[in-house]
Amino acid sequence: MTGHLLSVRDLRVGFGKVPEDNEVVHGVDFDLTAGETLAIVGESGSGKSVTAMSVNRLIGYSGGRILGGSMMFTRSDGTQVDLAALDEPALEKIRGRDIGMIFQEPMTSLNPVLTIGTQIEESFRLHHGMSGAGARVAAREALERVRIPDAERRLANAPHQLSGGMLQRVMIAIALAAQPRLLIADEPTTALDVTIQAQIMGLLAEMKRETDTGLIFITHDIGLVAGLADRIMVMQHGKVVEQGAIDAVLDDPQHDYTKHLLNAVPHFSDGKSVRRDHSRDGKSGRALDVKGLTVRFPVRAGLLRRARSNVHAVEDVSFDLMQGETLAVVGESGSGKSTTARAILGLVNATRGEITADKTGLGSADKPVQMVFQNPNASLNPRLTIAQILAEPLKAVGRHIDEAARARMVELLERVELPADSLPRYPHEFSGGQRQRLCIARSLMLNPSVLVLDEAVSALDVSVQARVLDLLADLQREFGLAYLFVSHDMAVVERIAHRIAVLYAGQIVEMGSAASVLADPRHSYTKRLISAVPSIERRHMEFAIDTRSVPSLMRPAGFEPDTAPWVEHGPDHLARAEG
Amino acid sequence: MGYAIRRLLVFPVVMFGVSVFVFVAVRLVPGDAIIAMLGTESGLLTPDQRAALAAYFGLDQNWFVQFWRWFSHVLQGDFGTSTTYGKPVLEIILNSFPLTLELALLSMLIALAIGLPAGVFAATRKDKPADLILRIVAMIGQSTPGFVVGLLAIFVLSVGFGVLPEMGSFVPITEDPLRNLGQLILPALTLGTAFAAAVIRISRAAMLDILSEDYVRTARSKGLSDRKVIWRHALPNALIPVVTLSGVEFGYLLGGAVLIEQIFALPGLGRVVLDAIQQRDYALVQGSVLFVAFNFMVVNLLVDLAYSALDPRIRLDKG
């Protein structure tokens, strides 16, 4: 037992009024030594976050209670305490000082009404007894350590003025302020773009090299921690199913669930596993044609609120989409990929450009383009039954709900593998994956020729994600649907896309067949995007910290940007020339 | 800054709308100023005398002429002459307003001093006995009419203990602050406690929302004490609904607390407006309603400015 920084034995945690009846963590054991990184991996509901939040006992504030077990923690002065038995005043002395924590959502994890500086200084005041100018200097240095440019000015900023990636770096600065012996990171990169994720992972790797802080890293993505963790612990339904050294578990998993997770997680493999069930041979018709799509949002300012400048969200985007084909639009937040999707649906007004959708291909399409959104929980009205939800698209085009419509509902439910008796039920009776299937069924009610899938699987657990992707591919082959698949996740894109368009700062910088773009990226941004994707195969590569950020898209009114010419790199592979 | 100026530019437009509305409204009320002025004696007037009086007050003209005459004078700062008091309207309003303002400020102070800590306290002890008791107290406080509390307070303190309230003619704060406070403390308490109940309820609800926010969890993960987490991290975020509620209430109070002023015999703006309506004192009603509307707009502007001061995300210049 001695020598361990943290030694957890038989930890049991319950929730609710009678926690004993609602136990969600059933006897977890693990050890962590100083300087070691333990990855806790599992899907939602596996108890991984509950376990981590039990260590610093924040779980009590989320309605959880520790029912049993011990958590022996060695403090910096060598004394050992049982975290499970400490009272609140004693815990306050350990939180922050001995155990730091970073959370999943940097956007909501910092206090919106206090400046960044105040929130960092607070830790120095509390744990190092600093005050005034001393605390301010310490806060600035902490920001510089996490590579925030222009740190002095940033101290005076409020959180909403910083990007998600910067906020997560601020969170790391706060968590490391007191030089804790243990850092808990709860899905710290899940809400972030892939290149930003690489920055955060790089910072954590640097911390690991330079200090002997122990790290508990919670994630659903095995590929992500493969390069950072020393040991891995796989959880399912509140139990540890397997734990051991990282290489041993990844290369020779023992438990079925670990094997399942390793298979379910879409591994990015540089374009080796793209779909090859569609080719542009001229047989299939064109489902969607977008020419010169440009979307600009005016920024108003001054006493008379005139448009002084424009945000060039989408700039001269052109592409076409064949029946039965998937075009993946990839890029980071702010690249304009969602705006492109919304413009095609007519949800935002295009400043310029032509969008032509095929209305004949599948017969009775009143609205040939339909959309599936990211969050299935938020995109189904909880007060409507499934039958009412599926009827809505028909009502929207003025059709009556007749026997034929009912027959179609039943047929589509069957097609998306939901029970036939779902019609009178309500959305809350379905799981996340089932709800996304409902959304897909709804989008198919009007027989569209094009489906726009905006991050449609991002909110789902990995194994659910894999099944929904399979369903989408089946539906595509059966109905000859064209998909515009908007995503930030390169591994998912590799599984579903036939062609890829890479969006950067509102423009397509590279476009072509998925195999060619992923295996042989030509534009520097595409290269950066692909090299940032974590994968099990690349786990022994070093993370480099690249803190470049996306350029501002704000331009003075009347400004017309130049677009770089296309350079051909193969039969179906174009990239913008770079100066 | 640009925002405040833009808002101020809208003031005249709203004031004009209010002017038209109140001008028409007082004239739609049955009865006229001359009957109200002279009471039963008005029956003794000959038609000629009546006409002469009407002409003197300008009541013989059609509404458009009357409105323009009144409004053009208002634009020059002249709100006309009260038919009941025979004094300039503005003078009457400005005489009664300090009392109303003082009463409003005092009751707000009492309401926030009681309501905010109690609401925060209740939120941190959700569903525990202290919370339940405070919720019941707040419910009673909100559902009991203010005049009942006021009458009870007078009865208990004056008849029961022989102290307070200091009746007699009202003394301005500039003359005798202590006596003034003695006269105002009971009415202020009556108004303040009723409003405190509302503040308890809204600050409790807001705090409960905020306490489950991610950044409160972050604050705890830093090792901050419960006290700091609540007062420094949570409360500033919970203040916005409290400010909204207080702004509306304060605006109403600036229009005079009619019932309370009657009970405690205070010559505030509420009584002036009430008397003016009963007397069909058109100029005084119009002038005081305009004044009250102006106060309301100023308070609303201050509330909006307070939002952006409280929460840096609320940028008034945008959106």
pLDDT digits (tens, 9 = 90+) for A478-519: 988 999 999 988 889 999 999 999 999 889 999 999 999 999
Same domain, A250 and A333: no
Residue B319 confidence (pLDDT): 39
Q: Does A49 contact B at CB distance below 8 Å?
A: no
Q: What is the dihedral of CA B49, B53, B58, B60, to 10 degrees?
A: -30
Site from B221, B225, B227, B239 to mutate, A interface, most A CB atoms within 10 angstroms:
B221
Question: What residues contact residue B168 under an 8 Å CB cut-off, 6+ apart?
Answer: none
pLDDT (tens digit, 9 = 90+) per residue, A1-11? 457 999 999 99
Interface of A with B in 125-144 (CB under 8 A): 126-127
Q: Does A124 contact B at CB distance below 8 Å?
A: no
Q: In terms of CA atoms, which chain A residue is nearest residue B233?
A: A111
Provide, as residue numbers in chain A, all residues whose Cβ is less than 8 Å from the Cβ of B216.
61
| A110–B311 C-beta distance less than 8 A | no
Average of per-residue pLDDT across A456-473: 87
Q: Which of B2, B6, B313 sits opposite A112 (nearest CB)?
A: B313
Same domain, A208 and A293: no
Interface of A with B in 361-400 (CB under 8 A): none
DSSP state of B233: I
In this structure, are strands A554-556 and A306-322 parallel, antiparallel, or unpaired?
A: antiparallel
Same domain, A292 and A258: no
Residue B264 confidence (pLDDT): 83
Residue A365 confidence (pLDDT): 57
| Residue A530 maps to a domain | yes
CA distance A113 to chain B (A): 5
| A302–B223 C-beta distance less than 8 A | no
Residue A521 confidence (pLDDT): 93
Res. A195: pLDDT tops 70: yes
Res. A381: pLDDT tops 70: yes
Interface of A with B in 156-185 (CB under 8 A): 158, 160-161, 171, 174-175, 178
Q: Kindly state the percentage of chain A with pLDDT values over 70.
A: 95
| A123–B313 C-beta distance less than 8 A | no
Interface of B to A at Cβ within 8 Å reads: 2, 5-6, 213-226, 233, 236-237, 310-313, 317-318
Provide, as residue numbers in chain A, all residues whose Cβ is less than 8 Å from the Cβ of B209.
none
Same domain, A123 and A179: yes
Q: In terms of CA atoms, which chain B residue is nearest residue A298?
A: B319
Same domain, A28 and A164: yes
Same domain, A252 and A163: yes
CA distance B39 to chain A (A): 54
Res. A89: pLDDT tops 50: yes
One-letter amino acid at B114 equals: I
SS3 content of chain B, % helix, strand, coil (to 5): 75, 0, 25
**Which of the listed residues A219, A245, A264 is the one where a domain comes to its end?**
A264
| Residue A26 maps to a domain | yes
| A95–B220 C-beta distance less than 8 A | yes
In this prediction, the residues of chain B whose per-residue pLDDT falls under 70 are 1, 31, 33, 36-37, 39-40, 42, 162-168, 316-319
| Residue A523 maps to a domain | yes
Q: Which of B215, B222, B310 sits opposite A96 (nearest CB)?
A: B222
One-letter amino acid at A218 equals: I
* Residue with the larger pLDDT of the pair A452 and B277: A452
| A301–B218 C-beta distance less than 8 A | no
Instruction: Calculate the alpha carbon distances from A368 to A446, A448, A519 in Å.
Output: 8, 4, 33
Residue A344's domain comprises: 267-368+484-579
Measured CA to CA, the distance from residue B285 to residue A306 in angstroms comes to: 41
| A56–B218 C-beta distance less than 8 A | no
Q: In terms of CA atoms, which chain A residue is nearest residue B316?
A: A301
Nearest to A503 by CA among A350, A336, A296, A291: A336
Measured CA to CA, the distance from residue A31 to residue A186 in angstroms comes to: 18
Res. A202: pLDDT tops 90: no
Site from B222, B239, B315 to mutate, A interface, most A CB atoms within 10 angstroms:
B222
Site from A113, A122, A125 to mutate, B interface, most B CB atoms within 10 angstroms:
A113
**Which of the listed residues A206, A240, A264 is the one where a domain comes to its end?**
A264
Highest mean pLDDT out of A91-100, A329-338, A362-371: A91-100
| Residue A536 maps to a domain | yes
pLDDT (tens digit, 9 = 90+) per residue, B64-103? 888 888 888 888 888 888 878 889 999 999 999 999 999 9
Confidence of residue A363 (pLDDT cuts 50, 70, 90): very low
Measured CA to CA, the distance from residue A458 to residue A449 in angstroms comes to: 23
C-alpha angle A448-A450-A455 in degrees, rounded to nearest 5: 120
| Residue A426 maps to a domain | no
Distance, CA of A579 to chain centre: 32
Res. A245: pLDDT tops 60: yes
Ordered domains of chain B (ranges, CATH):
95-310 (1.10.3720.10)
Confidence of residue A362 (pLDDT cuts 50, 70, 90): low
C-alpha angle B188-B190-B193 in degrees, rounded to nearest 5: 95
Residue A541 confidence (pLDDT): 64
| B5–A113 C-beta distance less than 8 A | no
Provide, as residue numbers in chain A, all residues whose Cβ is less than 8 Å from the Cβ of B223.
92-97, 126-127, 178
Write down the residue that tokens 């994720």 correspond to: A197
Maximum separation of any 2 CA atoms in chain B, in Å? 86
Distance, CA of A545 to chain centre: 20
Q: How many CB pairs under 8 A join A and B?
A: 83
Write down the residue that tokens 């639009």 correspond to: A329
Same domain, A193 and A328: no
Nearest to A264 by CA among A482, A399, A465: A465
How many of the other CB atoms lie within 10 Å of CB of B99?
A: 24
Q: What is the mean pLDDT of chain A?
A: 88
Same domain, A174 and A230: yes
User: How would DSSP label each residue in A71-135?
Assistant: EEEE-TTS-EEETTT--HHHHHHHBTTTEEEE-S-HHHHS-TTS-HHHHHHHHHHHHH---HHHH
B290 and B21 Cβ atoms separated by less than 8 Å: no
Q: The tokens of A230 are what?
A: 């020393």
Least confident piece of the model among A433-437, A549-553, B26-30, B92-96: A549-553
| A111–B2 C-beta distance less than 8 A | no
Same domain, A59 and A145: yes
CATH number of the domain residue A134 falls in: 3.40.50.300
pLDDT (tens digit, 9 = 90+) per residue, A151-162? 888 999 999 888
Please write down the long-range contacts of A71-78, taking CB distance under 8 Å and 24 or more positions apart: A71/A6, A71/A7, A71/A8, A71/A9, A71/A11, A72/A1, A72/A4, A72/A6, A72/A7, A72/A8, A72/A9, A73/A5, A73/A6, A73/A7, A73/A98, A73/A99, A73/A182, A74/A4, A74/A5, A74/A6, A74/A181, A75/A181, A76/A181
| Residue A455 maps to a domain | no
Provide, as residue numbers in chain A, all residues whose Cβ is less than 8 Å from the Cβ of B6.
303
Same domain, A535 and A570: yes
Average of per-residue pLDDT across A274-280: 83
Q: The tokens of A365 are what?
A: 């399409």
| Residue A402 maps to a domain | no
Helices and strands in chain A, H and E counts: 19, 22
Q: Does A301 contact B at CB distance below 8 Å?
A: yes
How many of the other CB atoms lie within 10 Å of CB of A277?
A: 11
Q: In terms of CA atoms, which chain B residue is nearest residue A91?
A: B223
Residue B255 confidence (pLDDT): 84
Question: What residues contact residue A510 under an 8 Å CB cut-off, 6+ apart?
Answer: A500, A501, A502, A517, A521, A522, A523, A525, A526, A573, A574, A575, A576
Provide, as residue numbers in chain B, all residues whose Cβ is less than 8 Å from the Cβ of A300.
318
- Say how many CA atoms lie within 13 Å of A430 toward its Cβ: 26
Q: In terms of CA atoms, which chain A residue is nearest residue B229?
A: A111
In this structure, are strands A182-186 and A99-102 parallel, antiparallel, or unpaired?
A: parallel
Domains: count for chain A: 2
Measured CA to CA, the distance from residue B295 to residue B251 in angstroms comes to: 7
Residue B162 confidence (pLDDT): 66
Provide, as residue numbers in chain B, all residues whose Cβ is less than 8 Å from the Cβ of A56.
221
Distance, CA of A373 to chain centre: 14
Res. A85: pLDDT tops 80: yes
Measured CA to CA, the distance from residue A220 to residue A234 in angstroms comes to: 10
Whether the link from the prior residue into B165 is cis, omega within 30° of 0, is yes
CA distance B308 to chain A (A): 10
| Residue A336 maps to a domain | yes
| A111–B218 C-beta distance less than 8 A | yes
Same domain, A290 and A341: yes
Same domain, A257 and A359: no
Q: In terms of CA atoms, which chain A residue is nearest residue B317?
A: A301
Q: The tokens of A438 are what?
A: 């409902």
Q: Which of A62, A122, A161 sits opposite B222 (nearest CB)?
A: A122
CA distance A221 to chain B (A): 22
Measured CA to CA, the distance from residue B269 to residue B35 in angstroms comes to: 24
**Which of the listed residues A211, A229, A264 is the one where a domain comes to its end?**
A264
B76 and B147 Cβ atoms separated by less than 8 Å: no
Measured CA to CA, the distance from residue B243 to residue B252 in angstroms comes to: 14
| A88–B224 C-beta distance less than 8 A | no
Q: Which of B214, B218, B236 sits opposite A113 (nearest CB)?
A: B236
B190 and B146 Cβ atoms separated by less than 8 Å: yes
| A109–B5 C-beta distance less than 8 A | no
